[in-house]
Amino acid sequence: MPTKTLAELAKTIRSKNAGTDRITFDVIFHTREDYEHVKNSGVLTRETVRALFNVDDERIVDFVNFDPAYAIKFTFARPQPSGSPGEGDVFGCQQYPPLLDVVVPVD
CATH number at residue 37: 3.30.70
**107 within some domain:** no
Radius of gyration of the chain, Cα coordinates, nearest whole angstrom: 14
Do the beta carbons of residue 28 and residue 38 sit within 8 Å?
Answer: no
| Among 56, 50, 33, CA closest to 104 | 33
Return the SS3 of 74.
strand
- pLDDT tens string 50-94: 999 999 999 999 999 999 999 999 999 998 889 899 888 899 999
Residue 74 domain flag? yes
Phi and psi at 17, nearest 5°, equal -65, 145
The reply to whether 34 falls in a domain is yes
Give residue 88's pLDDT.
Answer: 82
* Assigned domain for 105 exists: no
The residue range of the domain holding 59 is 3-100
Domain count, the chain: 1
Residue 16 covered by a domain: yes
